[in-house]
Amino acid sequence: MRSSWENSAEHFEGFSLETVDVGPGSLRVRHGGSGPAVLLLHGHPRTHMTWGKVANLLYSDYTVVCPDLPGFGRSYQPADTADSRNSSKRAKGEALVELMRRLGHENFAIVGHDRGSLTAFRMAMDHPDRVRKLVIADGIPIIEHLERADWKFARDWYHWFFFAQPEKPERAISADPLAWYDKLAPALMGRPAYDDLLNVIQDPHVIHGMIEDYRAGLSIDHLHDRDDRDTGRKVTCPMLCLWSLRDDMEQIYGDPVAIWRDWADDVRGFGIDSGHHVAEENPEALSQAIRGFLEGA
């Protein structure tokens, strides 16, 4: 079931904004354009609005689909379980495959950034018949993060382990969301994206849903990764790995492409001159990289 939603975002000209029922709940999704379908998955703590500039740059040649991830923004909140399985990347991937099916896209490419890259990877692994090409930006498999964690990871990415704790993260963030997310910049994000995010981070249910995404990483997602590695399963579609040169991915892990070669049959990649939120900071370079990859052999 779909319901219409007012379309009022400056960066998504010509896009429709809807809620789409996918079974466990409804996803808020903005979509438009024409041509092959491309699913864009955002990171933490963003909503789909982070993709506005990139979506406009791809609109003329692709059908661009930008949902709020389950647990984020105004999409449904997965039901709580002891192991956070409903917030697993596998469960989210299944909901997003259903979203694409209901929008009429049986096959599609995926671009995932940050936490969205983890769900994108899981979708390519679990649904090779649906995912034509995969673009990962600023991400590696969860098990690689955990097994390679050192003092630099603990210092700079400590929130992974804090968010895994019960209750305390939600209390800390909800006490003063803008103090926690103190790097939000309306001039960089664009006012509609900033206002949208400002609204959702005031909602304790959304804060909980975003934290559950991390809890799932440390409870069940890494087990799914280990099963794939133990059985020799790999991503079979062509894959592009991107990373932000002014972020710390390369400094902590070295060459991300070398890591991904253990997980994908056909992978290439390079860095982009940007800070972490590349879709907002350098949308032109990101969209050019996406286009070049999707249009290549």
pLDDT for position 7: 41
pLDDT for position 198: 96
Please give the CATH number for the structural domain made up of 2-295: 3.40.50.1820
Selecting among 114, 138, 225, 228, the annotated active-site residue is 114
In the structure, what pLDDT confidence band is assigned to residue 296 with cuts at 50, 70 and 90? confident
Selecting among 48, 113, 127, 276, the annotated active-site residue is 276
- The yes-or-no answer on residue 276 being catalytic is yes
When the pLDDT of each residue in the chain is averaged and rounded to a whole number, the result is 94
- The yes-or-no answer on residue 221 being catalytic is no
pLDDT for position 297: 59
| Strand ranges, E, within the chain | 2-5, 16-21, 26-33, 37-41, 63-67, 108-113, 131-137, 239-244, 267-272
294 sits in which H/E element: helix 283-295
pLDDT for position 4: 33
> Is residue 157 classed exposed, middle or buried when 0-12, 13-18 and 19+ CB atoms within 10 A define those classes?
middle
Instruction: Determine what percent of the chain is predicted with pLDDT higher than 90.
Output: 93
pLDDT(147) > 80: yes
Of the listed ranges 65-69, 92-96, 187-191, 237-241, the one predicted with least confidence = 187-191
Q: What is the mean pLDDT of residues 209-233?
A: 98
Q: What is the mean pLDDT of residues 73-87?
A: 97
